Structure 1
Amino acid sequence: MSNVNALYQQRIAAGDLRPDPVQQDVMPQFQRIADGLTADPVKRGLFRRAAPPPAPKGLYLWGGVGRGKSMLMDLFVDSLGDIPVRRVHFHAFMQEIHSAMHEARQRGVDDAIAPVAADVASSVRLLAFDEMQITDITDAMIVGRLFEALFAADVVVVTTSNRVPDDLYKNGLNRQLFLPFIELIKGKMEIHELASPTDYRQDRLQGSQVYFAPNDASARAQISAVWTDLSGGEASPLTLEVKGREVVLPAFRNGVGRASFYDLCGKMLGPGDYLSIAQEVKVLVLEDIPRLSRNNFNEAKRFVTLIDALYEARVRLICSAAAQPEMLYVEGEGTFEFERTASRLREMQDKDWGQSDT
């Protein structure tokens, strides 16, 4: 087991990170949890078995995108050594919970949350969630009881979020039923804002090329290098459930998604799907945009809808394409309407694009 602050200082010394006093301020919170997880059992008398130490309060680390929340949590997880811990994106975790509950119901279990929570609690002492965000009514109805069971089993939770707890599931359907969960978070977790003025994700892209055309070997190599830099070279698929259907981003990590044009525009996706993607990702790497015409009219329409969703959500777009925006769609029905999309693609290449969202 390592000291998380020591790992942080090592990254600074290696030139991988810049010193940030706001990031430094959260280190005692991580150390508090690590100390609690490794505390000695509590002695209860000469003839009684020592009891496990009480679980430390968890941590709810919130702040704007690109402030280093996920990076700090990953450092903390890396510092824990042999302590059973799982680090997972919150949305992916909830998808697993839904699947496990479905299997439990098929076995005839009436209260499916109980055995699912017990299975999770038996395998970990700490759950590290990236990007807690509640946007789905089904998740909102499940998450309270699930976390109650996890906390009762002394599972410690550390999570990052872009929202203060009081803004979770804001304006959601039947939100009053969700409010006890917010109070549960406040009671079981320390709330810490990471209010750094620096958006490190944008800094990485500052002045960097984000639109690569033509889509040749050089473009593919450059966009892969950008992806590796932003994701650390590690990623897993992200499955979003939209109105009972699954929408899959093939690669996702720390708010950065990667997909091909075909993945998102070659399939029968609609505005709701693209809005859900835009809510989940802060940066999207989109590859292999072809020339558009009457021959792929449906794909072109979906591409227009996708760009609109990304634009409105201020998502940073990095893409490779067959041609510059103005030359992507030069013949056939829809060329006039595409002029707005081409203009947005140009605007989204600006070095300051997306910063107003933070």
Structure 2
Amino acid sequence: MSPTSGPAADSTAPISLCAREPRVPAERLVAEMVPPPRFASARFDTYIPDPDRPSQAEAVRVLSAFADGLGGSGERGRRRWFRKAAAPSGPRGVYLDGGYGVGKTHLLASLWHAAPAAPEQKAFGTFVELTNLVGALGFQQTVRTLGGHRLLCIDEFELDDPGDTVLVSTLLGKLVEAGVALAATSNTLPGKLGEGRFAAADFLREIQGLSAHFRPLRIDGEDYRHRGLPEAPSPYTEEDVTRAAERTPGASLDSFPALLGHLSRVHPSRYGALTDGVGAVCLTGVTPVTDQSTALRLVVLADRLYDREVPVLASGAPFDRIFDEEMLKGGYRKKYFRAISRLTALAREGKSLVGAEKSTGKSA
């Protein structure tokens, strides 16, 4: 939402994310397995390949053919497709590997839209949302629910612990047996999942099993979110942030340390619901995060805010310094760089909140 303008505008009490404790029923988790608002209109013809990166145009070609290969419509075509897929002779999925900001999520959402199936026959969600669904429904019910789909798209595929490795390996194996086609994005090749985060060698069989389901498709390029754009805005003063929050309908206002503490008490599967109806997130006192568990929760929140196109306005440390150097060299570095990229893009979008507020004649 855009901020109310004019010197006579009434002040609006900001929302506090810390005061929210959302409860998300399992049926909502299933219903929301569609491309998020930011990618609701994503299509192959709206993806703009970098002419200096041929792999991007090649990705569009391969994924378009993959969508066409799903084929058939109606119940009769669906049963024929399943019978054909019941005993696959090769990978039943495609795996988009590349750095952050090369448009992998756009392409994955485009594939979901292009797949010739009704919306209820295809699912789209992040890896975290998929594991949360298993937690909410139970393993067997998840298999029954997703096993009736033609396509499962998994964004931000990551293996953070051995339990996830075994769980997802078993789940995807069951879904492939049921005839479900798979598509995933990640910053890590399927055979390298888990490296730097746990003893991946001890789970080599599961990781190799996951890799066997996918045909890797490498996408090179620079982060499109910042290609040719000005640098991210510097953090604002606490007074700027507070005043903008008070004048922006639907804005939230929280201190950064308090929000991080609150995130530790809310399951990551509820971070999307935590931001329901929020038009902008305003944060005061941003400081570098040094605890890994806290940092990973912040990554999930950044993803949900980005998906929902919620601008961010902050005071304190700039977002490119929100994770310390040791974290940016560790096993989760790609997640942290993605979060920095997305928060920076949202901060750029949030800049207009301060500009609009100052245009009313109230100086900082």
TM range (shorter): 0.5 to 0.7
Give the corresponding residue for 1:328.
Answer: none
Alpha-carbon distance change, 287 to 136 in structure 1, aligned in 2, over 3 angstroms: farther
Report the residue type matching 2:172 in the other structure: F
User: Secondary structure at 1:154's aligned position in 2?
Assistant: coil
> In the TM superposition, what is the alpha-carbon distance from 1:117 to its structure 2 partner?
1.3
For residues 148-167 of structure 1, the aligned pairs below 5 Å read 148-167=173-192
Give the corresponding residue for 1:116.
Answer: 142
User: Secondary structure at 1:53's aligned position in 2?
Assistant: helix
Give the corresponding residue for 2:235.
Answer: 211
The answer to whether the aligner puts 1:93 opposite 2:108 as a matched pair is no
Alpha-carbon distance change, 87 to 289 in structure 1, aligned in 2, over 3 angstroms: same
> In the TM superposition, what is the alpha-carbon distance from 1:163 to its structure 2 partner?
0.7
- Identical counterparts, % of pairs: 19
- Separation in 2 of the partners of 1:219 and 1:73? 37
Give the corresponding residue for 1:309.
Answer: 323
- Separation in 1 of the partners of 2:182 and 2:145? 16
- Separation in 2 of the partners of 1:26 and 1:129? 17
Alpha-carbon distance change, 40 to 209 in structure 1, aligned in 2, over 3 angstroms: closer
User: Secondary structure at 1:261's aligned position in 2?
Assistant: strand
Alpha-carbon distance change, 260 to 204 in structure 1, aligned in 2, over 3 angstroms: farther
Is residue 157–residue 185 contact of structure 2 (8 Å, CA) maintained in 1?
yes
Give the corresponding residue for 2:104.
Answer: 69
The answer to whether the aligner puts 1:200 opposite 2:233 as a matched pair is no
Give the corresponding residue for 1:25.
Answer: 58
The answer to whether the aligner puts 1:170 opposite 2:205 as a matched pair is no
User: Secondary structure at 1:158's aligned position in 2?
Assistant: strand
Report the residue type matching 1:37 in the other structure: L
Is residue 33–residue 57 contact of structure 1 (8 Å, CA) maintained in 2?
no
- Separation in 2 of the partners of 1:179 and 1:220? 54
- Separation in 1 of the partners of 2:125 and 2:81? 32
Alpha-carbon distance change, 68 to 51 in structure 1, aligned in 2, over 3 angstroms: closer
Deviations 1:170-204 (A, max 9, x none): 144453453223322332221111012x2202227
Is residue 71–residue 81 contact of structure 2 (8 Å, CA) maintained in 1?
no
TM-score (norm 2): 0.56
Deviations 1:9-32 (A, max 9, x none): 4x26xxxx3554321101232133
Deviations 1:55-90 (A, max 9, x none): 672101011000111111112212224342111111
- Separation in 2 of the partners of 1:241 and 1:143? 25
Give the corresponding residue for 1:246.
Answer: 267
Is residue 63–residue 195 contact of structure 1 (8 Å, CA) maintained in 2?
yes
- Separation in 2 of the partners of 1:154 and 1:288? 47
Report the residue type matching 2:226 in the other structure: Q
Alpha-carbon distance change, 156 to 263 in structure 1, aligned in 2, over 3 angstroms: farther
Give the corresponding residue for 2:113.
Answer: 78
Report the residue type matching 1:275 in the other structure: A
Give the corresponding residue for 2:24.
Answer: none
- Separation in 2 of the partners of 1:127 and 1:263? 40
- Separation in 1 of the partners of 2:59 and 2:235? 36
Deviations 1:276-323 (A, max 9, x none): 135555898654559xxxxxxxxxxxx99x9653675452444579xx
Deviations 1:93-137 (A, max 9, x none): 111112222xxxxxxxxxxx3343122212x11011111011133
User: Secondary structure at 2:94's aligned position in 1?
Assistant: strand
Alpha-carbon distance change, 260 to 51 in structure 1, aligned in 2, over 3 angstroms: closer
User: Secondary structure at 1:169's aligned position in 2?
Assistant: coil
Give the corresponding residue for 2:294.
Answer: 274
* Larger of the two Rg values belongs to structure: 1
CA root-mean-square deviation: 4.5
> In the TM superposition, what is the alpha-carbon distance from 1:159 to its structure 2 partner?
0.3
The answer to whether the aligner puts 1:261 opposite 2:261 as a matched pair is no
> In the TM superposition, what is the alpha-carbon distance from 1:218 to its structure 2 partner?
9.4
Alpha-carbon distance change, 245 to 201 in structure 1, aligned in 2, over 3 angstroms: same
Alpha-carbon distance change, 279 to 40 in structure 1, aligned in 2, over 3 angstroms: closer
Q: Give the total of aligned pairs.
A: 256
Unaligned stretches of 5+ in structure 2? 1-41, 252-261, 329-336, 352-364
Give the corresponding residue for 2:154.
Answer: 129
TM-score (norm 1): 0.57
Is residue 61–residue 160 contact of structure 1 (8 Å, CA) maintained in 2?
yes
The answer to whether the aligner puts 1:52 opposite 2:76 as a matched pair is no
Higher relative contact order (CA closer than 8 Å, sequence separation 6+): 2
Alpha-carbon distance change, 136 to 67 in structure 1, aligned in 2, over 3 angstroms: same
